[in-house]
């Protein structure tokens, strides 16, 4: 694994943020002047997949949705209906382009120019790999994997995507949000000096549970409740907190060299909550010895917080997804306050920029790499907390602990199964650490 | 419920307890009357017309997170219940989906107004309270809200026309530092209601119709209400921590906007939350003469209108 040099990383980031075309070349079947329809397939018909499809269709380019894929027929049909209600002839999905089941993605990818990958994150590496193999442009949701073999798969496919000049945008939408772009550009330009510390947070109230239904196989139950199983979700530190961790990496222009932390199930202890923790606290240490503290929790009734702040040699910065960005000098005077009025919706902006590049036949986006490394930061954080050990970045990348099932079928068994009392085994720091790294 | 039924007979201020918890909230009695609604300032506030209002009680304060969170989180409600139980009929109330983000937006929670809930969410909270207390709580109509806000004043604010006095009565753009504050920190109006101007804007039940008052020109409207039939816009009143003085006036009207849900990444969008409206909260009303149980349920049980 090649080491990350801060300077190189910044160069790459700057090139992308500045909108420099990595390489302009006529793509096969370029969508010149918007005259040709861009055919899009949605893989993963949940709320976010449907939302991402709306964002794509709202981007103003000549797009048609030509295929839908989901493991569940009911998800697919309800998304189809919602899409059709709103977008009418922009949704051109015939019955034989509705693909259901674990292998549905392969066929859906075939018939599209661009794919939206929005299933639970566990499937992302195999879907991304296949989309790259088939030479498609890609929008994929975060996080991009749930375990380290998955990360390596994404990184390998990302290399191939680069060679094939496939645009890949990852749904870490803060990268496309004006307040973050403006503030972080100023930080990288030296407005507050070198960043020496930071704190990033995602403390919220948690998410839904879908009660077990009679007749469901274990595979179906876990798939319906994907948030609570690591092979599907990666735990909430990966699934949600990746947003804030990614900001830390972006601001630092680097990835941590080691991570330590602590976490537990303090609040969400029932069997319906699978195996995941409800709180994590991490220390991300970077090569320059700066430390970012990260905290995420799913607690009800407590003070919530979702934002980021960093301290630097000549000042500090406060950032949040609500559009805030304030830079202060060392004396606490405001030196920049972002005005969010009229800023584009970042969820739409990421699609707008992707489809703009595609329609012009340009190659501009290789987000898979930072998407993978920020996802990896969350995964290492999870492992550090589950095991109670300090995990080094380079060592972690060698991990072969693969948590994905060996077979994908409704009657196949995931690796993690409930005990006799219906509760799932949960990681206890200091015990069974070999299961996690 | 004894305090509530007593109050019903005498139209006095009362404290509503939520049985089995330590939660209470204050309700202020508002007498029947006729007032001049609207103003000459903006087109949607014209014409000034007379409105006759039946008596009701209204929350002394905006609804706080303390009261709202047990509704939001069933498990949390359980831990806040003295006997560690929730009655099955309370359990059966539809609750909000857990917000994806931090809905306090870092502005504070204990004693701060609950906010960013949708109109539907606000009404379902009232239903939870009804099942919890047996008392019909609902959103104020626009007319009730303005009548309560004015508290007898026909000037721009409940305390007169002088906007320089706003700091004594309201958290607004000029003094809030961009966030909500504990309810009840500023001076109340003549009827003892706090934060009618500022802090958070407050939901009314009414559909926002810009020329709604035209039909009442030269007439006396009796308990008017524009029953909502579409998801947007509904009328929001009172201005917030983020509002300019002109928007804090008693007659000022704000229309809810789909933009308030722009950052919701899911489709269909949440029925419950406005991730981009941290300035919207709510206040409770209880009519002195409640409708029948069936009518009350009909008020609460309108299916949410799908949003995408």
Q: What is the pTM of this model?
A: 0.90
**Burial class of B90 by CB neighbour count within 10 A (0 to 12, 13 to 18, 19+):** middle
Query: Model confidence at B306, in pLDDT bands (50, 70, 90)?
Result: confident
Per the prediction, chain A carries an average pLDDT of 92
Whether the CB-CB separation of B230 and B66 falls below 8 Å is answered with no
Give dist(CA A13, CA A19) in Å, integer.
10
Whether the CB-CB separation of B202 and B237 falls below 8 Å is answered with yes
Across the interface, whether the CB atoms of B69 and A300 are under 8 A apart is answered: yes
pLDDT of residue B9: 55
Closest CA to B214 of B50, B47, B52, B51: B47
Query: Which positions of chain A have pLDDT values less than 50?
Result: 1-28, 32-33
pLDDT tens-digit series, residues B176-218: 999 999 999 999 999 999 999 999 999 999 999 999 999 999 9
Q: Look at the block and give the residue holding tokens 């040709």.
A: A36
What's the average model confidence in pLDDT over B219-240?
97
Of B76, B106, B308, Cβ closest to residue A305: B106
Buried b (16+ CB within 10 A) or exposed e, B166-178: beebbbbbbebee
pLDDT of residue A31: 61
pLDDT of residue A302: 87
Across the interface, whether the CB atoms of A206 and B79 are under 8 A apart is answered: no
Give dist(CA B305, CA B228) in Å, integer.
11
Across the interface, whether the CB atoms of A347 and B263 are under 8 A apart is answered: yes
User: Which residue in chain A has the smallest CA separation from B278?
Assistant: A322
Range with the poorest average pLDDT among B8-17, B102-111, B215-224, B278-287 = B8-17
Give dist(CA B17, CA B51) in Å, integer.
32
Across the interface, whether the CB atoms of A47 and B266 are under 8 A apart is answered: yes
pLDDT tens-digit series, residues B252-283: 999 999 999 988 999 999 999 999 999 999 99
Strands B56-59 and B201-207: unpaired
CB atoms under 10 Å from CB of B220, counted, come to: 10
Give dist(CA A280, CA A271) in Å, integer.
20
Q: Is residue B7 scored above 80 in pLDDT?
A: no
Helix (H) or strand (E) holding A279: strand A279-285
Of B80, B99, B263, Cβ closest to residue A345: B263
Across the interface, whether the CB atoms of A301 and B73 are under 8 A apart is answered: yes
CA distance A304 to chain B (A): 5
Give dist(CA A84, CA A74) in Å, integer.
15
Axis crossing angle, helix B65-72 with helix B119-133, rounded to the nearest 10: 90
Query: Cα-flanking dihedrals φ and ψ of residue B264, to 5°?
Result: -75, 115
pLDDT of residue A35: 60
Give dist(CA A268, CA A196) in Å, integer.
34
């Amino acid at each position: 694994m090649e080491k990350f040099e801060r300077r190189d990383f910044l160069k790459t980031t700057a090139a992308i943020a500045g909108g420099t075309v990595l390489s302009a070349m006529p793509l096969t079947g370029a969508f010149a002047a918007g005259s040709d329809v861009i055919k899009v397939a949605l893989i993963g018909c949940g709320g976010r997949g449907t939302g991402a499809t709306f964002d794509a269709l709202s981007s103003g380019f000549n797009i048609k949705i030509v295929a839908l894929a989901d493991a569940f027929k009911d998800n697919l049909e309800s998304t189809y209906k919602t899409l059709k209600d709103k977008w009418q002839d922009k949704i051109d999905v015939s019955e034989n382009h509705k693909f259901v089941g674990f292998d549905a993605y392969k066929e859906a990818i075939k018939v599209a120019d661009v794919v939206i990958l929005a299933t639970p994150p566990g499937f992302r590496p195999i879907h991304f790999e296949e989309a790259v193999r088939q030479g498609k442009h890609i929008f994929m949701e975060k996080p991009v994997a749930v375990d380290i073999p998955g990360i390596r798969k994404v990184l390998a496919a990302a290399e191939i995507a680069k060679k094939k000049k496939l645009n890949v945008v990852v749904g870490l939408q803060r990268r496309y949000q004006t307040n973050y772009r403006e503030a972080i550009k100023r930080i990288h330009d030296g407005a507050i000096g070198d960043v020496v510390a930071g704190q990033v947070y995602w403390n919220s109230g948690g998410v839904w549970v879908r009660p077990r239904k009679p007749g469901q196989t274990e595979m179906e139950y876990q798939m319906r409740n994907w948030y609570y199983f690591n092979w599907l979700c990666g735990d909430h530190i990966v699934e949600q907190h990746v947003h804030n961790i990614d900001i830390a990496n972006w601001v630092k222009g680097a990835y941590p060299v080691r991570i330590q932390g602590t976490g537990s199930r303090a609040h969400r202890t029932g069997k319906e909550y699978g195996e995941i923790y409800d709180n994590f606290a991490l220390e991300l240490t970077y090569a320059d010895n700066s430390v970012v503290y990260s905290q995420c929790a799913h607690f009800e009734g407590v003070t919530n917080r979702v934002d980021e702040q960093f301290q630097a040699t000549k000042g500090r910065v406060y950032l949040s997804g609500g559009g805030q960005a304030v830079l202060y000098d060392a004396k606490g005077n405001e030196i920049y306050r972002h005005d969010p009025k009229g800023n584009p919706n970042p969820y739409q902006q990421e699609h707008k920029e992707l489809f703009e590049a595609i329609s012009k036949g340009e190659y501009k986006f290789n987000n898979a790499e930072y998407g993978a490394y920020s996802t990896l930061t969350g995964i290492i954080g999870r492992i550090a907390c589950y095991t109670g050990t300090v995990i080094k970045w380079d060592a972690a990348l060698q991990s072969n602990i693969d948590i994905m099932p060996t077979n994908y079928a409704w009657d196949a068994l995931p690796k993690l199964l409930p005990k006799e009392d219906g509760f799932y085994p949960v990681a206890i720091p200091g015990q069974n650490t070999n299961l996690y790294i | 419920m004894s305090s509530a039924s007593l109050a019903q007979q005498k139209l006095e201020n009362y404290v509503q307890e939520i049985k089995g918890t330590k939660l209470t909230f204050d309700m202020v009695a508002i007498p029947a009357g006729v007032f001049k609604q609207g103003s000459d300032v903006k087109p949607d506030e014209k014409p000034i017309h007379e409105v006759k209002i039946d008596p009701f009680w209204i929350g002394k304060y905006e609804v706080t997170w303390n009261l709202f969170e047990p509704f939001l989180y069933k498990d949390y409600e359980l831990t806040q219940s003295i006997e560690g139980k929730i009655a099955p009929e309370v359990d059966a109330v539809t609750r909000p989906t857990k917000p994806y983000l931090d809905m306090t937006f870092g502005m504070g929670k204990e004693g701060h107004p609950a906010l960013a809930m949708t109109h539907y969410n606000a009404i379902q909270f009232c239903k939870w309270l009804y099942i919890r207390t047996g008392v019909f709580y609902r959103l104020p109509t626009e007319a009730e809200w303005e009548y309560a806000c004015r508290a007898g004043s026909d000037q721009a604010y409940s305390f007169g026309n002088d906007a320089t006095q706003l700091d004594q009565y309201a958290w607004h753009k000029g003094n809030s530092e961009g966030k909500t504050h504990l309810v009840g920190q500023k001076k109340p109006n003549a009827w003892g209601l706090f934060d009618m101007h500022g802090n958070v804007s407050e939901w009314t039940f009414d559909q926002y119709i810009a020329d709604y008052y035209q039909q009442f020109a030269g007439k006396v409207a009796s308990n008017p209400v524009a029953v909502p039939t579409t998801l947007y816009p509904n009328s929001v009143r009172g201005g917030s921590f983020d509002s300019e003085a002109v928007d804090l006036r008693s007659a000022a009207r704000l229309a809810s906007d789909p933009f308030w849900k722009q950052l919701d990444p899911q489709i269909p969008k949440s029925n419950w939350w406005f991730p981009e409206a941290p300035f919207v909260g709510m206040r409770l009303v209880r009519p002195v003469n409640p409708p029948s149980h069936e009518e009350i349920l009909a008020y609460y049980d309108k299916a949410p209108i799908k949003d995408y």
